[in-house]
Amino acid sequence: MSEHFPVCNANQVVRVLRRNGFLLVSQKGSHQKWLMIINGWTGATRVIVFALLLAVVIAVAWVVAAASAAKRRAASLGCASRITSISLAVRLWAEDNGGVCASNFLCMSNELTPKILVCPGDRRRQKATDWASLTPANCSYEIMSPGLRVKDTNTAFIRCAIHGHLGYTDGTVFDGVRRRHKYE
Ligand SMILES: [Zn+2]
């Protein structure tokens, strides 16, 4: 059995909106004035107004997209900077441990702070306040080559799970395009 909905006209819709506070037009019949104005426009005027509205929508979309791209780029650069800092800590640790890199981040508690282990682009993970509370939920980076010789600068040591950036023991970062040094 089909259900019938009441059919209402534009005036009824406006009255309902105004009664419920959705319409801030207090003057009675002002929406009708607007309808009359729009109906009075020529075809050319309508095209111009439509084009202007379209231009505003496109401009807003472009600004939002540009801001989003800038935010993603900043997060990517921040991630590369963290990988470089972690690589420095890896080198320091290896110098005291026979030139071999650590097999986990906890080993490097004297050279690292756990707060650096969350990528700036990672929205899911929270920074650990101390090493005792560190879990995989507080670390965006994975050690790909545990026990790597620190002099082996051609093998990636760590990887960001968000960006896929690779970190090497010489402090360089491969961002998917090329290996970058610090401050590049
Ligand atoms: Zn990252």
pLDDT in tens, the chain (184 residues): 444 545 556 666 666 666 665 555 555 567 777 777 877 877 888 888 889 999 999 999 999 999 999 999 999 999 999 999 999 999 999 999 999 999 999 999 999 999 999 999 999 999 998 999 999 899 999 999 999 999 999 999 999 999 999 999 999 999 988 888 876 7
Report pLDDT for 49.
Answer: 87
Report pLDDT for 7.
Answer: 55
Q: Where are the domains of the chain?
A: 10-40, 75-180
Report pLDDT for 151.
Answer: 94
Report pLDDT for 1.
Answer: 42
Å from CA of 46 to ligand 1 middle: 48
CA–CA separation, 46 vs 134, rounded Å? 61
Q: Which residues surround ligand 1, an ion (CB under 5 A)?
A: 79, 119, 160, 162-163
Report pLDDT for 46.
Answer: 82
CA–CA separation, 171 vs 11, rounded Å? 69
Å from CA of 170 to ligand 1 middle: 18
Characterize 148-179 residue by residue with b for buried, 16 or more Cβ atoms within 10 angstroms of its Cβ, and e for exposed: bebeebeebbbbbebbebbbbbbbbbbbeeee
Kindly report the backbone phi and psi dihedral angles of residue 72, in degrees, each rounded to the nearest multiple of 5, phi listed first: -65, -40
Å from CA of 79 to ligand 1 middle: 4
Report pLDDT for 31.
Answer: 74
